[in-house]
Amino acid sequence: MLTKKQRSILNSYIGEDSDDKAVLSIYPLRYEFREIIDESQWQISMKVLFRATIISAIKTQRFGNRSITRFRVMTDYNEYDCIIFNNRFVDKSLENQEVSIYGTLSDKFQIVVSQMNRKSLNELEGIFPVYSQKEGVTQYQIRSIIKKVLKENYHQIEEIIPEKYIKKYKLLTYREAIKEIHFPHSALHLKHAERTLKYAEALQYQVAIGLSKKENQLIIKKNQTIDKEIVRQFISDLPFEMTDDQQQTIQSIMIDLQRPQVMRRLVMGDVGSGKTVVATAAILAMGFQSNRQIAFLCPTEVLAYQHYETLTKQIGQYIKVGLLTGSMSSNEKRDILDKLRNNEITCLIGTHSLFSEPVTFNNLKLVIMDEQHRFGVTQRQALLQKGESVDVLMLSATPIPRTLASSLYSHIDISTIETMPINRQRVITKLIRENTITSILDELIERISLKDQVYVICPSIEEDNKLQVKNVKTITKNLKKEFGSKIIVEMIHGQMNREEIASVLNDFKAHKIDMLVSTTVIEVGIHIENANTMVIYNGERFGLSQLHQLRGRIGRNEKQAVCYVLCDTNDQNSLQRLEMFEKESSGFALSMIDLKLRGSGDLLGIRQSGMPMFTIFNPIRDEKMLVESAKDAWEIINSSDSQEKAFVKKIVKIKDSIVDAMI
C-alpha cells in the first residue's frame, strides 16, 4: 500500500480520480546507464560511480529557495571537492564515513553529486529511469511509487496486443514490456520493451483509424447535385491563375460532394498556398441556388472576420454569408440565429460560438474547419450533429509529407497543395542575434519609404517581470516616440474587442497604418498583400510551426518580403531551431525537421500541428512500423478470431480519444 505522502505525489501525476495503474503509462524521459568505470579513465563531463570517504564537514549554504552543499571526499587515489545543488537535507552523519557516490565529473577534481548513500556500488549500478519531475518530488520518490504500483498491479495488467502479432514480431507481452520500460534488466530488454510498446500504440491507433473509416463509409447521404458551372465562372473571374494543385483539389471536392458517402477530406497546404479559395469554391458549389447550409469554423475571431469579409466580397452576390462570434452583442447574435433558422443565411462563419446549443441550422450539409485540430473532438462532433449526413472539409496550414499523411490518416481523403501561387518569391529570413531593432531600423524605415508595411510581433501583450520578453504595449509606445508622425504605428492584441481589432486591421489594409505591432493574434489566415516585412521579437519563444505561420503573413505578392527574427538567447537548442528556420522556407520541410528534433508528441506544438499525440511511438523513426501496423489493424478489424474481436471492442470504447487529431 502507498503511504499518505506517496498517494499525494501519485495524485499530482495522474489526478485523484484515476486508476493507480495510469502512472505506469508515464514512461521515463530517459535512462541513466550507471556503470563502474576505473578512476584512471574518468573524463570531464563523465557520469561516475565510485566509493569514497568523506573527509571534511558537510556545509550547506542557502539562497532563498536554493541551496549548495559542499564537502570533500577521498578515494584510493585522489581527493575531490563535491557539490550538491538544492538538497537541504543531506545526511551530516555521513561525515567521516565511507559512501557510494554517483555524479558528474565537472572539473578535474570536482564532482556534482546526484546521489550519495551507504549502499553498495552493486545496488547503485544498472539502468535507472529518469521521469519528468514535479516541484518537490525526487526521482527516488517517483521511482519508488511506480515500483510499488507495478508490484501490486502486475498481474492485473491486461494484454493489449493479440497473441498472433506477439508471435509474428517476436514481441514481449504488454505486461513484460511495461515492467522493462520502467525497470529494464539490460539494454537489450529495454530495446524489446520500447519496440513492443511502440507497436501497441501504433496498432491501437490504426485500429481506431480503421473503425473510423468504416463508420464514414456507412454514412450515406441523399443524392445531391452541385452547380459546377458557377464554380467554373468563379475560377475564371479570379484576378489570378489557380495552380494545378488547387484545381485538382477542387475537382476532388466536387466528386466527393456528389458521392453517396459523406465527404471527409483534409486539404493540406503551406501558408499562403491558397486553401481558402478552394474552400470558397466548395461553399459556392454547395450553397448556390439550393436550400443547403454551410458552417465555416475558424479558430480565432480575427480569422473569422477576415473570412467573412473575403467571402462576402467574392461570392456575396450568389449566397448570403453570416458571421457569429462570442464578442458580438446579444441583439446581433439573436438576429443571426433567427436568420440561420429561417434559412436566410447560406454560409455561417464563426468561432467556438458555432458549437453552442442555440445555433440551429435549417439544413446543414457542409462543415468547413480551418485548423480543425485547434478544436476538441467533442466540439467538432457537436457541430456535425446539427445536420444530417454532413460533409466535412478540413484545412490545415501545418503540412506533413503526403506519404506520411496517407499512413497516419488513412480514414480520410487527403489533398495536398504543394505548388505556391505564381510570381511568389521566397521570403528572405534574417536571424539577428540581439533582441532589439536598433541594427535594422534604417532598413525598416527604407522599406516603409518604398510603400511597404511592417508587422512587429511580440510574445506578450504587456510587461511581465517573470517572462522578461518584449510586449506589444511597450514596443508600440517606444516606436511611436521614435517615429513621431512620420510613420504611423498602431497595435493589435487578443484583449481588444472585435470592433477594435476589425477597425485596426481595416486601417492597416487601407494603408492608413505603416507598422502594426501585434501578438500572435495575426498568426492564422490574415491576408494583407502590401505588408511585406515582419519583425519577430524573442524568436526563441516560438516553435517552428508558429514562426512559419507568422512568416506566412508576408510574401503574398510579387515583391520581395523580408522576415527579421530577433533573439538574444544562448540556448543552443533554440538557436539550432532558429538557424533552421532562417535557411528553410518550406512548411513541409520544417514540419519534418521539428518532428525529428522534438518527437511526434510535441510536433510543432501538439494542438497546433494536427498530429496525433503518441507517447512513445514516432511516425518518422518508426514509419515502417506505422505501415505494417496499418495492415495488421485491417486484418484485426475483419477477423473472426475471438481474441481479436475483443481487442476491437476495447478500441471502440476509446476510439474518439485516440483519433482526437482528426475526424
Answer yes or no: do 468 and 530 share one domain. Answer: yes
| Per-residue pLDDT at 597 | 63
Average pLDDT over residues 131-139: 86
pLDDT band at 600 (very low <50, low <70, confident <90, very high): very low
Q: Is residue 210 within 8 Å of residue 411, measured between CB atoms?
A: yes
Domain boundary among 116, 151, 186: 151
Full-model pTM: 0.75
pLDDT at 33 over 70: yes
pLDDT at 514 over 80: yes
Characterize the bridge pairing of strands 515-518 and 489-492: parallel
pLDDT band at 663 (very low <50, low <70, confident <90, very high): very low
| Per-residue pLDDT at 446 | 94
In the chain, what percentage of residues exceed pLDDT 90?
A: 59
The residue behind cell 438576429 is 335
Burial (0-12, 13-18, 19+ Cβ within 10 Å), 444: buried
Answer yes or no: do 144 and 9 share one domain. Answer: yes
Answer yes or no: do 442 and 298 share one domain. Answer: no
Residue 311 cell numbers, joined: 467571402
Number of separate domains in the chain: 3
Answer yes or no: do 383 and 487 share one domain. Answer: no
d(CA 610, CA 373): 5
Average pLDDT over residues 498-516: 91
Answer yes or no: do 390 and 453 share one domain. Answer: no
Q: Is residue 159 within 8 Å of residue 176, measured between CB atoms?
A: no
Residue 164 cell numbers, joined: 498472433
| pLDDT tens column, 70-109 | 999 999 999 999 999 988 788 899 999 999 999 999 999 9
Residue 455 bridge partners (DSSP): 516, 534
| Per-residue pLDDT at 478 | 94
* 345 found inside a domain: yes
* 104 found inside a domain: yes
Answer yes or no: do 374 and 446 share one domain. Answer: no
pLDDT at 355 over 70: yes
Which residues span the domain enclosing 553?
428-584
d(CA 364, CA 295): 7
Q: Which residue from 175, 183, 180 is spatially nearest to 156, judged by alpha carbons?
A: 175
Average pLDDT, the chain: 89
The CATH number of the domain holding residue 548 is 3.40.50.300
Residue 648 CB neighbours (<10 A): 19
Q: Which residue from 41, 57, 61, 58 is spatially nearest to 49, judged by alpha carbons?
A: 41
* 649 found inside a domain: no
* 9 found inside a domain: yes
Answer yes or no: do 495 and 351 share one domain. Answer: no
The CATH number of the domain holding residue 72 is 2.40.50.140
Answer yes or no: do 103 and 12 share one domain. Answer: yes
pLDDT band at 409 (very low <50, low <70, confident <90, very high): confident
Average pLDDT over residues 180-193: 96
Answer yes or no: do 317 and 462 share one domain. Answer: no
* 405 found inside a domain: no
Among 187-201, 247-261, 458-472, 559-573, where is mean pLDDT lowest?
Answer: 458-472
Answer yes or no: do 385 and 515 share one domain. Answer: no
By 3-state DSSP, what share of the chain in percent is helix, strand and coil, each rounded to 5? 45, 20, 35
* 187 found inside a domain: no
Write out the H or E segment, with its range, that includes residue 582.
helix 572-583
Helix axes 139-153, 4-14, angle to 10 degrees: 90
CA 620 to chain centre: 16
Answer yes or no: do 243 and 337 share one domain. Answer: yes
| Per-residue pLDDT at 523 | 78
Domain boundary among 99, 132, 151: 151
* 471 found inside a domain: yes
* 285 found inside a domain: yes
Answer yes or no: do 374 and 453 share one domain. Answer: no
Question: Over 379-441, what HEC string results?
Answer: HHHHHHCCCCCCEEEEEECCCCCHHHHHHHCCCCEEEEECCCCCCCCCCEEEEECCCCCHHHH
Domain boundary among 539, 557, 584: 584
d(CA 86, CA 131): 18
